[in-house]
């Protein structure tokens, strides 16, 4: 045993190579914190999240509450909402307080964004992993199915299905979009799993006699999932954009739900005369979508050591 201990002593003097980095994630976090775009996105999204979760903090009116047609289309007294009086954002064509509508209109797009992404992500992780890991028949089958979905224009598909079920709420809409959404993410997940599947450390686990479930959960998923998560984050923004489009086209959510897309839709005939009706929801929508994209971008860059 004495020789082994000598080796031990030798190796210890070699010490751990004092890498400046503790781990990929903490490194990525430090990199993120340094980015201005990351913080801008975080602040905007935090604000939007607060609007969606606790609208009562920002307005004491309910959705479509206290609307008075006689007060319709009141322009905001000033572009500075803090200086303006009773209706800081003015009122819409039904005489509802536009600020209150904006606040209540936040929840729907954000919930749909997360739900659709969540549904698609779950499907992608399960199907992508199975298809990438087991390959062969299942893979061939899933690949053909994703091909078919790829050939289908997403917006058209959504319009067709949603028109067929006219009275749908937020959740049905999310479900439909989620079903149309999974192929892209699944394909990404499958590619990731494929690239990790033959990694040496997976082979090593197999040689230890580890079972498939263990290999999948301990080895493949943790190494395959990061890019899919980043993609999902970018995706939330994209879904919000789609949701607004569907609302605007009149096939998405319906009155009495309030959403930015519906507000835009309401404004479409008259916005040349009342531009603020377009500008407010437009700005909120763009800011939110952009923030998700910026956030996803920042996380992706931070996780990719080659870009540093």
**Cβ-Cβ contacts under 8 Å for 249 (sequence gap 6 or more):** 159, 265
- Among residues 107, 168, 187, 219, which is the contact residue for other proteins, using CB under 8 A? 219
Among residues 70, 85, 136, 211, which is the contact residue for other proteins, using CB under 8 A? Answer: 211
Calculate the CA 85 to chain-centre distance.
36
With beta carbons less than 8 A apart as the criterion, state whether 170 and 112 touch.
yes
DSSP assignment of 160-219 equals HHHHHS-S--HHHHHHHHHHHHHHHHHHHHHHHHHHHHT-HHHHHHHHTT--HHHIIIII
Q: Which two tokens stand for residue 192?
A: 């990731």
Nearer to other proteins, 66 or 214 (CB): 214
Member of 16, 36, 137, 213 binding other proteins (CB under 8 A)? 16
- Of 210, 249, 270, 278, which one interacts with other proteins (CB under 8 A)? 210
Can you tell me the distance from the alpha carbon of 92 to that of 69, in angstroms, rounded to the nearest whole number?
9
If you search the block for the tokens 């209540």, which residue do you land on?
104
Interface residue with other proteins among 167, 208, 213, 272 (CB under 8 A) is: 208
The residue from 64, 172, 206, 279 that contacts other proteins (CB under 8 A) is 206
* Least distance from other proteins to the Cβ atom of residue 302, Å: 11
Task: Please report, as residue ranges, which positions from 17 to 36 form the binding site for other proteins (by CB under 8 A).
Answer: 17-24, 31
Q: How far is CA 57 from CA 53, 107, 156, in A?
A: 9, 14, 38
> Which range binds other proteins by CB under 8 A, 159-167, 172-180, 219-227, 268-276?
219-227
**Binding of other proteins by 137 (CB under 8 A):** no
> With 0-12 CB in 10 A as exposed, 13-18 as middle and 19+ as buried, what is 93?
middle
| Total residues interacting with other proteins, rule: CB under 8 A | 40
Query: Per rule CB under 8 A, is residue 214 in the interface with other proteins?
Result: yes
Residues engaged in binding other proteins (CB under 8 A): 1, 3-4, 7-24, 31, 199-201, 203-211, 214, 218-219, 222-223, 308
């Amino acid at each position: 045993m004495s020789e082994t201990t000598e080796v031990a002593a030798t190796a210890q003097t070699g010490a751990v190579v004092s890498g400046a980095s503790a781990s990929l994630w903490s490194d990525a976090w430090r990199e993120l914190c340094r980015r201005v775009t990351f913080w801008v996105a975080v602040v905007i999204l935090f604000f939007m999240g607060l609007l969606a979760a606790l609208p009562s903090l920002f307005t004491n009116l309910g959705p479509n509450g206290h609307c008075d047609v006689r007060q319709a289309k009141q322009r905001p007294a000033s572009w500075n909402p803090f200086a303006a009086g009773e209706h800081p954002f003015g009122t819409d064509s039904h005489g509802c307080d536009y600020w209150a509508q904006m606040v209540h209109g936040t929840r729907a797009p954000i919930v749909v964004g997360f739900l659709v992404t969540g549904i698609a992500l779950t499907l992608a992780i399960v199907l992508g992993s199975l298809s990438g890991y087991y390959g062969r028949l299942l893979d061939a089958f899933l690949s053909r199915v994703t091909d078919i979905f790829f050939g289908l224009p997403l917006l058209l598909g959504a319009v067709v299905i949603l028109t067929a079920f006219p009275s749908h709420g937020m959740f049905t809409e999310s479900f439909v979009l989620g079903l149309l959404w999974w192929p892209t993410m699944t394909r990404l997940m499958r590619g990731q799993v494929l690239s990790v599947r033959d990694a040496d450390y997976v082979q090593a686990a197999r040689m230890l006699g580890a079972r498939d479930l263990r290999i999948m959960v301990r080895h493949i998923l943790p190494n395959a999932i990061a890019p899919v998560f980043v993609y999902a984050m970018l995706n939330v923004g994209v879904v919000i954009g789609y949701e607004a489009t569907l609302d605007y086209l009149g096939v998405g959510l319906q009155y009495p739900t309030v959403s930015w897309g519906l507000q835009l839709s309401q404004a479409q005939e008259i916005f040349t005369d009342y531009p603020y009706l377009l500008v407010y929801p437009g700005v909120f929508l763009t800011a939110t979508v952009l923030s998700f994209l910026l956030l996803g971008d920042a996380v992706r860059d931070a996780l990719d050591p080659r870009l540093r």
